[in-house]
């Protein structure tokens, strides 16, 4: 089997992801937050006080990467990292007032992005897409 470049679904998915990321990055830039950092913030807006390890698990990201992003978010004044009194290795992430207020600007952007991305796509098609991507992810585990 000799596939042409356009035949590789992984390349198509990667190129799509680059477009998605570029779009959301431009929308979030004025708020001084990167798309990856925003994923942490979205988790904390749902459940404040998660540990860095819990965030890493939920986002399926490397713990070191999460620690670096948390440090950046702390530098920007959006979160505080607090060591657990019982176990100093555990860092919990807590929203600051600025971090809480950021949600009022970011959530409408995230919702608009979702609506734009899913325009003219049925719920059934979205479920099918999610199912197919889940199968692809499982194939690589």
Evaluate whether 73 touches 35 at the Cβ level (below 8 Å). no
* pLDDT computed for residue 1 by the predictor: 66
Show the tokens assigned to 7. Answer: 């035949």
* pLDDT computed for residue 22 by the predictor: 96
Q: List, in order of start, the domains of the chain with CATH numbers.
A: 5-139 (1.10.10.10)
| Closest listed residue to residue 99, CA positions, set 22, 59, 20, 46 | 46
Tens of pLDDT, residue by residue, the chain (141 residues): 677 777 889 999 999 999 999 999 999 999 999 999 999 999 999 999 999 999 999 999 999 999 999 999 999 999 999 988 887 788 999 999 999 999 999 999 999 999 999 999 999 999 999 999 999 999 998
pTM of the model: 0.85
| Closest listed residue to residue 72, CA positions, set 87, 45, 93 | 93
* pLDDT computed for residue 81 by the predictor: 95
């Amino acid at each position: 089997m000799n596939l042409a470049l356009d035949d590789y679904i992984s390349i198509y998915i990667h190129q799509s992801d680059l477009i998605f990321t570029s779009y959301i990055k431009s929308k979030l830039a004025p708020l001084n937050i990167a798309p990856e950092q925003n994923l942490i913030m979205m988790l904390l807006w749902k459940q404040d006080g998660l540990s860095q390890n819990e965030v890493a698990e939920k986002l399926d990201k490397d713990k070191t990467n999460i620690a670096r992003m948390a440090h950046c978010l702390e530098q920007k004044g959006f979160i505080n990292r607090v060591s657990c009194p019982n176990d100093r290795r555990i860092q919990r992430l807590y929203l600051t007032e600025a971090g809480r207020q950021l949600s009022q600007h970011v959530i409408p952007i995230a919702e608009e992005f979702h609506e734009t991305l899913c325009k003219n796509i049925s719920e059934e098609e979205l479920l099918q897409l999610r199912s197919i991507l889940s199968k692809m992810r499982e194939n690589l585990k």
